[in-house]
Amino acid sequence: MNRIIAFILGLILLPVLVTTALLVRIFLGSPILFRQERPGLDGKPFFLLKFRSMKNGKKKSGELLPDQKRMSRFGYLIRKLSLDEPPQLWNIIKGDMNFIGPRPLLMEYLPLYSNEQTRRHNLKPGITGWAQVNGRNAISWDEKFKLDVWYVENQSLWLDVKIIFLTVRRVILRDGVSAHGEATTSRFVGN
């Protein structure tokens, strides 16, 4: 069902997708899409797709500059409006993600999780989830993981419907886009 809805939603959002892609190309250049390996169900890797929201600025060593230095006003705007997220519909169509579930984080975090935190991978990741509607990037890592595990234990159709409505509200209010003092969120360094 997720795949069918994602396909239909992709067709409906096609003008938004094309417009956002053009604006990313104009303001940030190529590539238009951000593609990164993330852990999915049971920690199995997949490639997450998003519209790129940061510049590719690098240090002399070749390492990327910190998020704050690479985030442009345009990038911040598309993140604030969640316009970077629609390419993940392809991840849903492919079967890597659902609409709702714990957000897929970085592969490098996997060995840093406690046994309890690892349970967030007992479900497919989602574009939105319980942690997103309860603070998004503005809450601590500990709170995010507790909310993700709570969702895994309490998932239901009614909870998913509630999360969809709360997600729409969060996007409209543009609430919790970044952690205090960060362009996005702080890195998870373990417990």
Given pLDDT bands bounded at 50, 70 and 90, which one contains residue 177?
low
Asked whether the beta carbons of 121 and 43 are under 8 A apart, the reply is yes
- pLDDT of res. 81: 87
Helices 14-28 + 2-12 axis angle, to 10: 70
Give 188's DSSP letter.
P
Q: Taking Cα atoms as reference points, which of 142, 94, 146 lies closest to residue 120?
A: 146
SS3 at position 87: coil
pLDDT in tens, 50-90: 999 988 878 888 787 787 888 889 998 998 888 999 999 99
Counted residue by residue, the chain has a size of 191
Q: Is the pLDDT of residue 189 over 60?
A: yes
pTM (predicted TM-score): 0.87
Q: Taking Cα atoms as reference points, which of 127, 132, 130, 129 lies closest to residue 175?
A: 132
Helices 14-28 + 73-80 axis angle, to 10: 160
